[in-house]
Amino acid sequence: MSKELILMVHPTAGVLAILAALWALVECLNASATNVIRIRIASVAAAMMMWSAYVAGGYWYVVYYGADKALIKGGPWPFAHNFFMETKEHVFLSLLLIATFLPIAAFGDLVSSRSARQLVLWSSALIILFGLGMEGAGAFIAMGAKVALLAK
Amino acid sequence: MISTRQQRASDNLAARTTEGAVGRYSAGFGIALGVTSLLNAILVIIKETYETAVLTAMTALTGHHWVSQGIIDLVVFLIMGIALGRIAERWQNSPGLILAWALGGPVIGAAAIASFYLK
């Protein structure tokens, strides 16, 4: 697989994780015995997609990002690395833990416990919020590389 | 004969009218999530502030400081979550506390990291 395709897996899996978290959130707003299985499926899907985004993005970051980093830092948008990439790479670790926690919370007693549902609702909401932040930061990083190339 | 729609409405009503505790591992991993997220932020600030000592050591550990940080975070999260899950009886009936850790930790951690790199 080419390195560009590996890089594309990262935001694609990230978006799918956000959508799965949104699915879990909406199902959980109307939690009952009839849809609890769907909440759990959505939660597991969100975790699996987030782990896929982590592995693909992490591999690309560790192996290939060095050249892009030098390019961005030497270009007109150095903040694309100095702020957005640095923040993204470290906040992502926290997001990965939230996504790992979601299925653990979803396997609680969602039908009879309001508190268990609150944990799923808020964890899903955090995944959506942080996930969108990651996508936005990724756009800044890509643009940072683009404007650096255009400036050459 | 109760229709599926009536049954679902009945289920929903029952689901919304009870409070209840959270599961033991939801409690344990919820607190572990908050603590690990704060630890993650502290680790970022320490490694970037003391580059020659901490960043170099973390790089030497796995070949890349970010990989080392990810492993540290995951190990702490898993060990703390399992350990706290085993003694979770004392927190299971305090869902507000668990929610505060599970939400507050990642939000404060992310804000701390962003503020650090914004300077």
Query: Using one digit for the tens of pLDDT, what is the confidence trace for B5-53?
Result: 666 655 554 444 456 788 999 999 999 999 999 999 999 999 999 988 9
Question: Any residues with CB less than 8 A from the CB of A2 and at least 6 apart, and which?
Answer: none
Overall average pLDDT of the A15-44 stretch: 97
- Asked if A95 contacts A134 with a C-beta cutoff of 8 angstroms, the reply is yes
CA distance B26 to B92: 8
| pTM of the entire predicted model | 0.91
- Give A149→chain B minimum CA distance, Å: 24
Q: What is the distance between the terminal CA atoms of chain B, rounded to a whole angstrom?
A: 66
Token digits of residue A89: 């790479």
What pLDDT, on a 0 to 100 scale, did the predictor assign at position A49? 98
Residues 6+ away with beta carbon under 8 Å from B75: none
CB distance B20–A32 less than 8 Å? no
Residue closest to A31 by CA, chosen among A111, A103, A114: A111
pLDDT tens track for A124-142: 999 999 999 999 999 999 9
Angle between helices A36-74 and A114-150 (to 10 degrees): 20
Query: pLDDT (tens digit, 9 = 90+) per residue, B57-71?
Result: 999 999 999 999 999
Distances (CA, A) of A133 to A2, A14, A91, B44: 26, 11, 10, 19
B23, B25, B114 ranked by CB distance to A87: nearest: B114
What's the average model confidence in pLDDT over B71-87? 96
Residue in A27, A64, A65, A104 to test binding to B, most B beta-carbons within 10 Å? A104
For residue A124, the chain B residue with the least C-alpha distance is B103
pLDDT recorded at residue B17: 43
Which among A31, A113, A130 has CB closest to B22?
A113
Output DSSP code: residue B63: S
Q: Hey, is B87 helix, strand or coil?
A: coil
Interatomic CA distance for residues A46 and A69, integer angstroms: 29
ipTM over 0.90: yes
Question: What is Dmax (Cα atoms) for chain B?
Answer: 74
- Nearest CB neighbour to B15, from listed A32, A61, A82: A32
- Average pLDDT over chain A reads 96
Residue with tokens 């995951």: B74
Interchain proximity B99–A122, CB inside 8 Å: yes
B67 with A58: Cβ contact below 8 A = yes
Range with the largest mean pLDDT of A112-116, A125-129, A148-152, B49-53:
A125-129
Q: Are B23 and A108 in contact (CB under 8 A)?
A: yes
Q: Chain A interface residues facing chain B, Cβ-Cβ under 8 Å?
A: 30-34, 58, 61-62, 82-83, 86-87, 89-91, 93-98, 100-101, 104-105, 107-119, 122-123, 126, 130, 133
Q: What is the pLDDT of residues A69-100, one digit of tens each?
A: 999 999 999 999 999 999 999 999 999 999 99
Judged against a pLDDT cut of 90, whether residue B119 lies above it is answered with no
On chain B, the residues whose CB falls within 8 A of the CB of A117 are: 15
- Is residue A147 within 8 Å of residue B56, measured between CB atoms? no
Q: Are B117 and A82 a contacting pair at CB < 8 A? A: yes
Angle separating helix axes B24-49 and A86-106, nearest 10 degrees: 170
Answer whether B23 sits within 8 Å of A94, measured CB to CB.
no
Q: What is the 3-state secondary structure (H, E, C) of A46-73?
A: HHHHHHHHHHHHHHHHHHHHHHHHHHHH
Q: Give the pLDDT band of residue B90 (cuts 50, 70, 90).
A: confident
| Chain A / chain B CB contacts < 8 angstroms | 135
Count other C-beta atoms under 10 Å from residue A149's C-beta. 12
From B78, which residue of chain A is nearest by alpha-carbon distance? A97
Closest CA to A78 of A135, A130, A143: A143
